[in-house]
Structure formats: structure tokens, C-alpha cells
Amino acid sequence: MFKKKTSFEKIDSYLSKKGYDLIMSLFLENYNNYYLYIRFDYVKTIQAYKITWIDMDFINYKHPENYINTQIMTRNMGIKLDRLLGSIDTENTYLEDDNILGDRVEIVFNNKFGYKEYTFSRFLPNELKSLFDPIIIVFTYLPRSMEVILEEMLAKYSGGEEYYNHLKPIKFNLKKDKIDDIFRKDVIERGKKYYEEGHVTFLEKIDNKYVALVSGDKPYLVIIEEIDEDFTLIRCTCPCEYYCKHEYATLLAIKEKKFNNFYKVRFIGKEETLLERIRNGAYSICCGVENDSLLIITNDNEIVKMPIILNGKKCFEVIEDDDDKSLSEYLKKF
Ligand SMILES: [Zn+2]
């Protein structure tokens, strides 16, 4: 991580020597893992407005010119943004939410009403609605790949908050907190039923993550990662855009300590490019078989079918089996 204050000072003084006159800056601190410093300047030397952005994780202060990206604005748009900002008299506002890990936004500008500072977490709050249009204008001058950040930042206005929140770590202590608090009522009912009907077929703690396979219409992987004492990342491979029944059932299984380890297999065949990506470790996690294939869980949490026999040779050996040795028995047939 960079030293925030000195990093900004270096960039600011470099740009000010080049004739940049700061009107507004926007700092995204650990927003989707980005540390982005974005500025709106009037550049006297060329008499034009510019948008500048710098990835603060990726800058060498000996040669800042190689890392500072700028875009000249059309004259009309520059004037429009300058006027918009000049009319904002919202008081300094600090709305950081300690239920959110990272995703901090800091906006600073100076206009006829004085020096203004606004901070918030993840979503632009209603109190700062006057910044809605300026932010959109700034982002139209940034690379397309940053549009996802803009969409997320403005999710309060599009109704997408729940969707974005469920993709991020949540303030939740796996040992102490009640799981019902983070799920919709109807999901709790369905999740309990799923757990009771035995849909959580595998559950294992692997490194710092709980990994579960929850079977349903399709098998889905649930991964629960304790980020620190306060925050937990809960993910499922199903298409739900909120905390789902698979995750609820898994959390219940963790609470009840209903562990059931995955199979572990080792690839012993000849190297094949197709297989490269699943062989990044000494062993692969396997959640069962389907006809003449093993169901292997990749590092990207996908379940892929891998043939048991390749070029006439058996290419997996079992490292960890269940008590009945059912996987080893199954492989003997080949
Ligand atoms: Zn799910």
C-alpha cells in the first residue's frame, strides 16, 4: 500500500508545475481493489479542461509522466462541468459506513463556496445527489473498464444496492453473528429446508475458506471466507443476485459442524494443455463422478468434467477418499 499523503503531494506538485489547476478530485480508495486518483483540472498552458487519472498502486514517482493518464475535454463539456461544480453548496459531508470494507470514495473541490470535502462508502448517498451529474461527466472521460465502478457507485439510484453488496465482504462474524440477519425471509425458509434435506453434500475448510457443494437443480459451489474478525465473504456460483439458499444451507452446516471432505485426486497422466489449469496444486478437489469423468473443481470455482482415461491410460489417483472408499472402487472399474 502506498503512503497516501505523500503520494498525492508528489502528483499534485508535478501537475501544478505543468500548469494544472485543480477544480475537483475524486479518490477511490480500495474500490473493487482499485486505488484511483482522478482529477478535473483547468490547464492554463493549453487553455483547456482535462480529466486525469492515476492508478496509485502502479506509479513510479521518478517518472510520473509514464503513469499519469489524461484526456482533454471538449470545451463545452469542460465549461459545463466547471459550472455544475461551481453551483454546489452542499456542506462537507462524511458518510463512511463501517459495515462496508473498503470501497471508500473521497471527493474534494474548491469553488466560490469554499473548500469542500465529501466522503462516502460504496454508494453515492442521497445527501450528495448534487454530485450525481458531475461524477457521470467525469467517468465519460475514463476508460470503459471503469464503467462498472460508476454503475456500482450510483446503484442507490438504479436499485442495485443489494446486488453489489452481496458480491462483497459483509460485516459478519461466523462464530458469533446470527445468520438469519443477512438473508431474505423466504430464502431462510428454503435454505433451512435445503440443509435438512441434505443438499449440502460436501463441506470442508480448505486454507482460510469453507468450501461446500450444494446440490439442487444443478450442483453449486459455496465459498465462505473469513476476511478478518469482522468481515466475511460469502459467495455462491448460482445466478442469484442476493444471498441465496445454498449459502444459508452451508452456513447452517458450518454451525452444526457437518463436515464432509471432498475427494482429492492427483493427476498422473501425461501433461495436456487442457489439464494445465486444474493442476496448479499438488492435488485437485473432486466432488464426484459422472460416467467416465471425474468432476473436478478448478481454482476458478468451476466444476469441470475430466476424463478418467486419457490416451488409454488412467490419469488420476485418489489421495483422499470417503470412508467407503467409493471413489477408489469406482476408478478400479477402468
Ligand atoms: Zn446459490
Most confident of 2-11, 279-288, 307-316: 307-316
Q: Is the pTM of this model over 0.75?
A: yes
Residue 295 Cα to ligand 1 midpoint, Å, equals 19
Cβ atoms within 10 Å of 261's Cβ, excluding its own:
15
Strand partners, 119: 94, 106
- 161-169 contacts: CB < 8 A, separation 24 or more? 161/123, 162/241, 162/242, 163/241, 163/242, 164/122, 164/123, 165/122, 166/234, 166/241, 166/242, 166/243, 167/235, 168/100, 168/101, 168/103, 168/122, 168/233, 169/101, 169/227, 169/231, 169/232, 169/233
Residue indicated by cell numbers 448460482: 238
Predicted local confidence at residue 2, as pLDDT:
55
Nearest to 260 by CA among 195, 328, 322: 322
Residues in the chain: 334
> Is the pLDDT score of 126 beyond 90?
yes
* Helix extents (H) in 42-131: 75-86
Strand partners, 243: none
The 10s digit of each residue's pLDDT in 216-263 is 889 999 999 999 999 999 999 999 999 999 999 999 999 999 999 999
- Render pLDDT for 44-93 as a digit per residue (tens, 0 to 9): 999 999 999 999 998 888 888 899 999 999 999 999 999 999 999 999 99
Task: State the distance from the centre of ligand 1 to the C-alpha of 62, rounded, in angstroms.
Answer: 48
Phi-psi region at 291: left, alpha or beta (left = phi > 0; alpha = psi -120 to 50): left
Both ends of the chain: CA-CA distance in Å? 52
Phi first, then psi: what are they for 62, rounded to 5°?
A: -75, -30
What region does 301 belong to: left with phi over 0, alpha with psi -120 to 50, or beta? left
Query: How far apart are the CA of 240 and the centre of ligand 1, in A?
Result: 6
Distance 152 CA to ligand 1 centre (A): 21
CA of 202 to the centre of ligand 1 (A): 15
What pLDDT, on a 0 to 100 scale, did the predictor assign at position 140? Answer: 96
Query: 173 or 111, which is more confident?
Result: 173
Backbone angles phi, psi at 187, to 5 degrees: -70, -40
Average predicted confidence (pLDDT) for the chain: 92
- The whole-number pLDDT of residue 276 equals 60
Q: How much distance in Å is there from the Cα of 258 to the middle of ligand 1?
A: 19
Residue 100 reports pLDDT greater than 80: yes
State pLDDT tens for residues 285-331.
999 999 999 999 998 889 999 999 988 888 898 999 999 999 999 99
Sheet holding 316-320, edge to edge: 303-307, 293-297, 284-290, 263-267, 316-320
- Any idea which residue has 501537475 for its cell? 15
Using alpha carbons, select from 303, 310, 308, 314 the residue that is nearest to residue 278.
Answer: 303
Q: Identify the band that residue 272 occupies on the pLDDT scale cut at 50, 70 and 90.
A: low
The string of DSSP codes covering 15-52 is: HHHTTEEEEEEEEEEEETTEEEEEEEEEEGGGTEEEEE
Cβ atoms 285, 211 nearer than 8 A: yes
- Give the distance (Å) from ligand 1 centre to CA of residue 224: 12
pLDDT(13) > 90: yes
- Beta-bridge partner residues of 38: 26, 53
pLDDT at 135: 98
Give the confidence band of 280 by pLDDT, cuts at 50, 70, 90: low
Name the band, by pLDDT with cuts 50, 70 and 90, for residue 267.
confident
Residue pLDDT, tens place only, 182-210: 999 999 999 999 999 999 999 999 988 99
SS3 101: coil
Cell numbers for 56, please give them.
496509485
Q: What integer pLDDT is reported at residue 278 of this predicted model?
A: 58
- Taking CB atoms within 8 Å and a gap of at least 24, the contacts of 6-15 are 7/56, 7/59, 7/61, 8/37, 10/61, 10/64, 11/37, 11/54, 11/59, 11/64, 11/68, 14/64, 14/68, 15/39, 15/41, 15/52, 15/68
Q: How far is the CA of 146 from the centre of ligand 1 (A)?
A: 27
Say if residue 279's pLDDT is above 90: no
| Residue 29 near residue 5, CB atoms below 8 Å | no
**Residue 172: which H helix or E strand, with range?**
none
Ligand 1: centre distance to CA 216 (Å): 10
